[in-house]
Structure 1
């Protein structure tokens, strides 16, 4: 055998092994899947769909006919558009990082306490806690022993 036919044979063998593995996985998963629909079930579903929907050529979409309610759990078209518009108003696409980022950064939450209240709270905290330099954290003071 020459070198070119060996490459072709190896390529064909690799494709066959890959396809065999893929087919083995799909056939093994098939029994777990639901039973396929019969032709009669498909016809009934199609007829039901055509009763409730109409095709719009201008937009190439199926639209629910007037007088019919969408299935439970499906948001109305107006609600979805409003959610989309709100999202686009509040976010922008960052090409550099390939993520959506807020247009306005979220401001930090500020305390509603006055300066006097903050001072009093700090004084109360420092009476019951102390800073540990080794652990770099605040620790509760041990209870004072009474004589």
Structure 2
């Protein structure tokens, strides 16, 4: 199929516990953003445009340093991609060329060189899994204030999980 699909939210491509967040484009191959390999990650994947039983998803952006949560913009001709890294490091960008479903000539741009991770107070991130009825489980991300040394300290924090 020639042309570009406008970014839209889809869940039909979701499978095996991996949720497809956004369909980036379709041009012989399907480019999409998914929360994989875990729910706290977001990467750009590619697979064949015509689904088959032997489809293999290939991660295009998993190798980027300090960039496990991202958004991506693909050019209309499917030759270039701009990756906006939104975590865990401060926001920075990669510009790459797409060739045969792989990224080439990747250049990191717009990085804040004055950022000092040692001088920045970050929250303590805890990922928990809670069992639900009928064998389901809820995956929860808890952000504790920077001053909270441990989740097992004397001060307890209320957590409400609504499913």
Scaled to the shorter chain, the TM-score interval is under 0.3
Taking structure 2 as the reference length, the TM-score comes to: 0.17
Identify, as 1 or 2, the structure richer in strand.
2
Larger radius of gyration: 1
Identify, as 1 or 2, the structure richer in helix.
1
